[in-house]
Amino acid sequence: MLRARSVWLATLPAAALAVLLLAPLLRLGWAGLSGEFNALGDLSLWQPWQDNYLRWRLVWSLAQATITCVLALILGLPLAWVLARFEFAGRTLVLRLLMLPFVVPTLVAALGVLALWGPHGLISGALDINLQDTPWLLLYGNLFFNLCLVVRAGIDALAQVNARQVAAARSLGATPWRAFWRIEWPAIAPWLMASLCLVFLYCFAGFGLALVLGGQRFATVEVEIYTLVAYELQLGQASVLALWMLLLTGGVALAYAALEKRLAAPVRSNPVARVRPSTARQWLALAGALGVLSVVCALPIFAILFRAISALMTGAEGIFDAETLAALWNTLRFSSVALGLATLLGVLHALATQASVVWRALAFLPFVVSPVTVAFGLLLLYPAWTASLPLLLAAYAVLAYPFVAKALSAGLDTLPDNVLHAARTLGASPWRCFWRVTLPLLAPALRRGMAFAAATALGEFAVTLFLSRPEWATLTTLIYQRLGRPGAANLDAAMVLACVLMALALLAFLLIEWPSPEQREPGSRQAGLPAGVP
């Protein structure tokens, strides 16, 4: 009975994944392997590695993702240790604010980096340096967006370390450093490796940051695919590059899935108690950790606010014109519809996962496939539907619903069976049991998943560029258009619009997720999201 009900529940999410994700990926793979769009017949699967230009794009994409992972580990591990081991005023607020970079749309994050380090940026202008057309802008943007993943995973992993083992090591004469490497590091390494897999995927398959910050020299493969399709109409090369992206991200995704399986259902037994800093060294470590977090994760947000306020105070005109209001309306209505669809798909998917491990794993698929690849596959498979609003909204929903599905799946794993059995023995039908027992218990997890889904829909950029029509422009596409126009006025307008988009994303997140006193202390596993996701 349970399996039959799960099959029925999985019908709609399965159809969405098949039609909007798997079928476009298969179509894209066929185009790349068969050379369908190669009229000259000289394009092969290995052509990107034989062409110097395309090989550089692939190598740089791999390199910038790897460098970001290394930097995130070097910075994130000590930050996580300090935040996990020290108790201080405002610690809970700091842990909650760690989510903000992950909620901020990638295009807004890119503008924040430009406001700091770009031409006439707040810091670059004061120091008289020019980081334009260098790799540092993209690497800093990657760290802003992804450092929180490693820090949050490290905090949650350190909470799993057994205090008795650490105390035993110290009583046997081990120094704090040796106790860390022999006791704590083996316990937290799988968590950190899982979060680094996500960091690699987000950087390697990222689009918005690379498009704005990479420039001509340091653009990634995702940007190259978009350029080949939108501007050069080289569908053959774009198909082969997209196929290589699928192969490379698929390998990392398999490694992540293996680590996620190993980390399933962690046991919290006797965690190490947090202590208040008492020595100058401890206070210095805490101040240093908060300082690094402020520089990497908070400064871009404050830079956008500063530039937007400055633009408004200097009398910038024409920012909130009819074009902007139309884009704002499109953003709100598209995101609302996508959130409703994503919530429905996520709830059905989560309920179906209770009877199938394979179905649970399928929730990761939209996480590891880049939006550019999805949009390009939809463009190839449904050419007559690429300018249709239902396809655009459906693509939004498919990319956002895994946040809801993963949050609810983890919540269902922790539900007490005796409560559900008691309701059934008292005569409650499965439907009534869901509405009166299961749903109220899962409300915190549902709100959290919906909050991340809403932020994802509000900031979606790649799919909109591929599938949208001019009259469906959203705030993300309008910001990109203003950036492409010359003049300081357009840059000011882009900063103001980025501030509006950031405010919408944060407001949606706070309205949906923040009022949840039932929730436990923030942590990636407690939140019901993949290891490393805040």
CATH number, domain containing residue 372: 1.10.3720.10
**Residue 30: inside a domain, yes or no?**
no
Q: Which of 8, 26, 119, 3 is nearest to 365 (CA)?
A: 26
Going by C-alpha positions, the residue among 455, 447, 445, 456 that lies closest to residue 507 is 455
- Beta-carbon count within 10 A of 30 CB: 14
What's the chain's Rg over C-alpha atoms?
A: 24
Predicted TM-score of the model (pTM): 0.81
275, β-bridge pairs? 86
Q: Assess if residue 36 is contained within a domain.
A: no
Q: Which residues contact residue 421 at a Cβ distance below 8 angstroms, ignoring those fewer than 6 apart?
A: none
Per-residue model confidence (pLDDT) at position 68: 95
> What's the confidence (pLDDT) of residue 292?
92
Low-confidence ranges of the chain (pLDDT < 50): 1-2, 40-41, 266, 516-534
The tokens for 90 are 């405002």
Q: What is the pLDDT of residues 32-84, one digit of tens each?
A: 666 656 654 455 677 778 778 888 889 999 999 999 999 999 999 999 999 98
Dihedrals phi, psi of 124, to nearest 5 degrees: -65, -35
Measured CA to CA, the distance from residue 18 to residue 3 in angstroms comes to 20
Instruction: Phi first, then psi: give them for residue 162, nearest 5 degrees.
Output: -80, 125
What is the domain extent for residue 107?
Answer: 2-11+42-267+277-312+322-513
Would residue 388 count as lying in a domain?
A: yes
Residue 350: inside a domain: yes
**Whose CA is closest to 117, among 343, 382, 356, 295?**
295
Structure tokens at 295: 């520089």
* 8 A C-beta contact, residue 227 and residue 212: no
Q: Which of these, 444, 347, 462, 446, lies nearest to 399 by C-alpha position?
A: 462
Through-space distance between the first and last CA atoms of the chain, rounded to whole angstroms: 35
> What's the token pair of residue 256?
């992540």
How many structural domains comprise the chain?
A: 1
Instruction: Give residue 532's pLDDT.
Output: 43
Of the candidates 143, 156, 136, 132, the residue with the CA atom closest to the CA atom of residue 81: 156
In-domain check, residue 136:
yes
Question: Reduced to 3 states, what is the DSSP secondary structure of residue 533?
Answer: coil
Q: What is the pLDDT of residue 338?
A: 93
